[in-house]
Amino acid sequence: MRFTLEQITPKEYAGNVIFLYGNEVADRNLPLNKKEIDHLKKRRKEDEYSIVVFDRLPYHLYVVNFNAEKLASESQEKLRRSAHKVVSMLKDEKQTSVGITGDGVIPEEVVAFMEGMMLSDYSFDRYKAKSPAHIESAAVDSTFLTQDELDRSLRLWNRIFWCREWVNLPVADLNAEEFASELEDIAKDLQVKCTVFDKKKIEALRMGGLLGVNKGSVDEPRFVVLEYSPADAVNQKPVALVGKGVMYDTGGLNIKPDDYMREMKSDMAGAATMASVLFAAAENQLPVHLVALLPMTDNRPGFNAYAADDVLTMYDGTTVEVVNTDAEGRLILADAIAYAVANYDPELLIDAATLTGAAVRAIGTYGIAAMQQNADNPFNLLKIMGNQVYERIAEFPFWSEYDELIKSDVADIKNCGIAQAGAITAGKFLARFAQKTPYIHLDIAGVAFFSKQQDYYAPGASGYGIRLLYAFMQTYEMTKNNQ
């Protein structure tokens, strides 16, 4: 979808028009006669978030009702969801262009609606002989936005688009080597420093977790480090973003049963998310020093695959008893976290991973299961930003008693505990490698990939978490001022 800025007068615009109606201030500019206004107000009274369509043949006027007096995060989320409904209406009518305007609305509300349109218009078309219908162009009333403001939003949404493309691609077309190469090319274009470690270098680093998981695969692993270091950064020490890059997860020798292996191409969503956040920050020149650390491999049961009862020695020397080869994500993340702590001394470390089914069972597909250690201020800001952009996080307890559940009789720790509190013990496993570094763990298993339509997300990859972390980076200076 291509967005442009134009002066839009609803009564004169030659095309489909979306009119955002937040309160009765807008009445004077509604291009409606008295009978139509009466009908609109009746519908609005019945449902304050209704969408009322008026024929203006050969076009339509879509009046999108919302309550501008409600909490901003709530009303803006309603606008995103309304945008999805309008996009569906436009496609049903085989319309490919539209103008967007309103009265009595603020720029943030207009952007939220545009965001909903952009997110809902996405579909994964790469393998289809005939591409589904899409909205080709949307003209936005220039009253609400400058070109620079529009461009910044478009760059962020483009990163979400590419994250979704990467996660939707099957491993046959995007393995670790190919993904690393693609990230390297993008980094070069953005003048982001990119270091790609091949298998020999990973062996030299003694990353036992990444190498162990990779033992069953014909494809080599990769470890990618991206660094964005602007001259005006508010932080001298970087914020480290660690993302799980399991390109495909069979479960290894503890192979996944039945349909649990379906959609496992999405197990690299954490790496795709963190790369996308860093690239968006670089493109929009956010003043935050970031480093993204992305361990990549698939998890297969072939060759000399690692097995339950194996003991792996991690990058920092910690020994790990393998209890279940399907708890592989935390093993590759642990190496990356330990590497980040040892080589970058970050002031904050955040990981994102499609890590546990326990997180999905706990909160469903409505948010991110999150934990933190020594990171009260940034975590509080992250929760605020999550509510604001409606990519919400649910904080799980991180009590010391949970450490007991991953103690091993034969090694320093084991890679998973009992069935109860599975999401928390996975976070506890990773927190050990963060040591004293302020640490936030984001389990995105429930939201990275949807098996069916969820609001403005089509089935497939969502890019969920990018808007959250980007908004956090936009306001990151606030955590500095509060420390």
Residues identified as active-site = 256, 330
Task: Find the angle CA(42)-CA(44)-CA(45) to the nearest 5 degrees.
Answer: 65
- Contact between 465 and 440 under an 8 Å Cβ cutoff? The reply is no
Secondary structure of 72-91 in the HEC alphabet?
HHHHHHHHHHHHHHHHHHHH
Q: Report the SS3 class of residue 354.
A: coil
Distant-in-sequence, close-in-space partners of 99: CB < 8 Å, separation ≥ 6: 6, 8, 13, 15, 16, 17, 18, 138, 139, 140, 141
Token digits for 443? 């389990």
Composition of the chain by helix, strand, coil, percent to 5? 40, 20, 35
Question: What is the distance, to the nearest Å, from the Cα of residue 196 to the centroid of all Cα atoms in its chain?
Answer: 23
- At residue 436, φ and ψ (nearest 5 deg) are -90, 0
Q: How many residues appear in the chain?
A: 483
Rounded Cα gap, residues 133 and 131, in angstroms: 7
- At residue 256, φ and ψ (nearest 5 deg) are -70, 140
Rounded Cα gap, residues 21 and 26, in angstroms: 6
Place of tokens 């009702």: 65
Closest CA to 405 of 424, 381, 390, 387: 424
Beta bridge partners of 372: 440
